[in-house]
Structure 1
Amino acid sequence: MRAPSHTPYPESAEELQSVSLFRRLVAMLYDTLITVALLMVTTGFYKMIQAKILGTEKLKQLTEAGHFDTDPLLSSILFIVMFLFYGYFWTKSGQTLGMQVWHIRIQTREGYPVRWTQALLRFFMAWVSALCFGLGYLWILVDKKKRAWHDHFSLSEVVRIPKRKK
């Protein structure tokens, strides 16, 4: 059980609902659009730094020769940037931008924000869930509390939060 190191979310457990697969997928679509833009900007910066180091002519020659078709450094950087994007939002507010629109949040089972270690476990297991032909996500359809594999693995849950009254 988690020692309360910071404040729990204000909603009571009775106010929260489980989240359907559809709502999760639509929020993921929103976030995918944002992360694709972020990854494009990151790649642009990476290529600018490469051009500065190698020179534009040398970079062009190497690119045309196929030397950068698979670039493990760029792939690693993009993976880390994606984790930092999701990890930041999950640990700070429990909500990415897409999740905010769809009124869903990630939290611990006790109602606290997830920690960075939980965010990391969740992030990696979400990839596993997707790479197993989406079975980790489809698990929501058979789990009584609508939890995916990465929810189980990271000891977290996705909840639908009530709309705030103005």
Structure 2
Amino acid sequence: MACWMYEGLLMFGVVFIAGYLFSTLSQTRNALDNRHALQAFVFVIFGIYFVWFWAKGQTLAMKTWHIRVVDVHGAPITQQRALLRYALSWMWFLPPLGVSWLLDLPATKGAVLTLGWVAIWAILARFHPQRQFWHDAWAGTRLVTWITPAKTKRPAPGKTLVSRSS
């Protein structure tokens, strides 16, 4: 969950740049104008960000926390599987957002509902046989601990390593 929180912090920059790009291209002067188009644009930008990095194995936050996304066999995931994982990962937010919209809840109650759902969704991972998040199980992916192997120093061409023993 710490990685998830850090990812949210990094996504603030992505949202800022995407919002600036959208408002510049659409000549939007007020944040409430073209709101739904902006939300759709940010949704697509998030998709590009996550699919791109997950297909390479890790997002920036995942590198920090030594987490890697792989398929059920431990191999890197394809862009199609990353896209499926992105779509299914919205289970963290869509149910409470849908309920808030249907019941026309005020923003504060919607936020509390969303935070409660995030906690419940995280706890539901404890009921999975491998204790993974359900959207990962449905997408055929897993999160694993990954420490990048250390690079070994190679001698310069034409030189050999000599070990001395005393």
The reply to whether TM is greater than 0.5 is yes
| Aligned amino acid, residue 127 of structure 1 | W
Tell me the TM-score normalized by structure 2.
0.69
Q: CA deviation at 1:101?
A: 0.9
The list of structure 1 runs, each at least 4 consecutive aligned residues, that deviate by more than 4 angstroms after superposition, is none
Q: Which has the higher contact order (CA 8 A, sep 6+)?
A: 1
CA distance in 1, matches of 2:13, 2:76: 26
CA distance in 2, matches of 1:131, 1:45: 25
Q: 2:12 matched to 1:27?
A: no
What are the ranges of 5 or more consecutive residues in structure 2 without an aligned counterpart? Answer: 96-116, 152-166
Q: 2:37 matched to 1:73?
A: yes
Q: 2:97 matched to 1:112?
A: no
What are the ranges of 5 or more consecutive residues in structure 1 without an aligned counterpart? Answer: 1-24, 52-58
CA distance in 2, matches of 1:75, 1:108: 30
Secondary structure of 2:73's counterpart equals coil
Partner residue, 2:121 = 136
Partner residue, 1:151 = 136
Give the length in aligned residue pairs.
Answer: 129
Kept in 2, the 8 Å contact 1:89–1:95? The answer is yes
Report percent identity of matched pairs: 22
Q: CA deviation at 1:137?
A: 2.6
Kept in 2, the 8 Å contact 1:121–1:150? The answer is no
Secondary structure of 2:20's counterpart equals helix
Partner residue, 2:49 = 85
Tell me the TM-score normalized by structure 1.
0.69
CA distance in 2, matches of 1:97, 1:109: 22
CA distance in 1, matches of 2:93, 2:37: 23
Q: CA deviation at 1:45?
A: 1.4
Kept in 1, the 8 Å contact 2:3–2:61? The answer is yes
Kept in 1, the 8 Å contact 2:72–2:140? The answer is yes
Larger Rg: 2
Q: CA deviation at 1:163?
A: 5.5
Deviations 1:124-163 (A, max 9, x none): 2211134441233322222231211111110111111245
The one of 127, 135, 160 equivalent to 2:90 is 127
| Aligned amino acid, residue 115 of structure 1 | T
Q: 2:14 matched to 1:38?
A: yes
CA distance in 1, matches of 2:92, 2:7: 17
